Structure formats: C-alpha cells, structure tokens
Amino acid sequence: MLSERMTKALNEQMNKEMYSAYLYMDMSAHCTYSGLGGFANWFMVQYQEEMSHAMKIYDYINEQGGKVVLNSIEKPPGNFGTPLEMFEATLKHEQFITESIHGLVELAYEEKDYATQIFLQWFVTEQIEEEANDNELIAKLRLVGDEGNGLFMIDKELESRTFNPPKK
Ligand code: OFO
C-alpha cells in the first residue's frame, strides 16, 4: 500500500518520464530535419525507453492500489543546436532525473516503504546506464568536433540502436 505522499511523488515521477519521452521525440524530429537519420533513430529509441519507464510507474501505482493522476506535459525547449549540444542537454536532463529518483528512494526509506524501495532499485540502475550512454556519446562527439566524416560515422553507428522493452 502506498502513502498519499508516495503516490503523489510517483505520479510526479511518471510525469517527468513522460516529459523525457516528449523531449527525446522532439530531439528525434530535429535530427530527422537536419538529415541525421542515425541520431534521429537513437532519440526515437530513447523516447520508447522513457515511455516504458512511465508505464512501469503507472503499473506499479495501479498494482499497489494507488490512484494514477495524469498531469499536463511541459513543452520541450525546441531549439536544440548541434549533436554535441543535444547530448550535453540530454546528460543534464538525465542528471536531473537521477536526482529525482534518488529523492524518491529517500522518501521510501523515510516512510519504511519496503516495496517501493525494491521497485525503485531498477530505476537507480537504469539511471547509471542512461548517464553512461550520454557521457560516451559526448566524448565521441568532442573527439570528432564539427568534422563531417566523423559525424557521419557516428550517425551510421546510431542507426543500429533498437528498443528492448524492460522485463517486468
Ligand atoms: Fe527515464 O530515464 Fe531518462 O529520463
């Protein structure tokens, strides 16, 4: 059973995950428009991942007998700049999400909510991966700079990313 405070916090986190999905969907559109199909694919897979994160929380609130509350989703900023700037913005956003997840874990400890503590472990691990992926791409993009060939090669590499739905 979830406390009122925990239900509210989980609903807020679900909204943040929906915003992440919306943000990456917009970034994907920006990359398609800029002729960067591989980057567009990467961000579209990221969109799918974020939707699955939101749904994981949605299912958990329901399973625990809580009330899912949907709120409006903020508009993404829209002007994304170069691929390097996009990944720097992505990392910054994921660091914000990591902090938010850690805040939820602290609340679960404070409330002695053992079920939610276990539930959140998946998200703690996932955030390590999310930030590592962004850091790796930032390093590669810094290496190639604005050089067309290098960007083209990274774009090719990102074409192969596929979405693997998380296990229940
Ligand atoms: Fe859901 O991990 Fe990114 O935001």
pLDDT one-digit tens code per residue, 104-123? 999 999 999 999 999 999 99
CB-based contact 154:140 (threshold 8 Å):
yes
Judge whether 94 lies within some domain.
Answer: yes
Going from the Cα of 93 to the center of ligand 1, the distance in angstroms, rounded, reads 8
**Each residue of 118-159: pLDDT tens digit?**
999 999 999 999 999 999 999 999 999 877 899 999 999 999
17 lines ligand 1 (CB under 6 A): yes
- Across the range 15-43, mean pLDDT stands at 97
Residue span of the structural domain in which 62 resides: 4-158
90 lines ligand 1 (CB under 6 A): no
Judge whether 75 lies within some domain.
Answer: yes
pTM of the entire predicted model: 0.96
CB-based contact 56:122 (threshold 8 Å):
yes
**Ligand 1 atom closest to residue 97's alpha carbon, by position in its atom list:** 4
As a whole-number percent, the residues of the chain with pLDDT over 90 amount to: 93
Residue with CA at minimum distance from ligand 1 atom 1: 50
**Ligand 1 atom closest to residue 54's alpha carbon, by position in its atom list:** 1
Cα angle 12-18-23, degrees, rounded to a multiple of 5:
125
- SS3 letters for the chain? CCCHHHHHHHHHHHHHHHHHHHHHHHHHHHHHHCCCHHHHHHHHHHHHHHHHHHHHHHHHHHHCCCCCCCCCCCCCCCCCCCHHHHHHHHHHHHHHHHHHHHHHHHHHHHCCCHHHHHHHHHHHHHHHHHHHHHHHHHHHHHHHCCCHHHHHHHHHHHCCCCCCCCCC
Residue with CA at minimum distance from ligand 1 atom 4: 20
Q: CATH code at 105?
A: 1.20.1260.10
Judge whether 140 lies within some domain.
Answer: yes
Rounded distance between C-alpha atoms, residue 49 and residue 140, angstroms: 22
13 lines ligand 1 (CB under 6 A): no
Judge whether 138 lies within some domain.
Answer: yes
Judge whether 152 lies within some domain.
Answer: yes
pLDDT band at 2 (very low <50, low <70, confident <90, very high): very high
Judge whether 166 lies within some domain.
Answer: no
Judge whether 168 lies within some domain.
Answer: no
Judge whether 163 lies within some domain.
Answer: no
**Ligand 1 atom closest to residue 50's alpha carbon, by position in its atom list:** 1
pLDDT higher than threshold 90 for residue 168: no
Would you state the structure tokens that stand for residue 127, as one six-digit string? 């955030």
Rounded distance between C-alpha atoms, residue 102 and residue 50, angstroms: 17
Domain count of the fold of the chain = 1
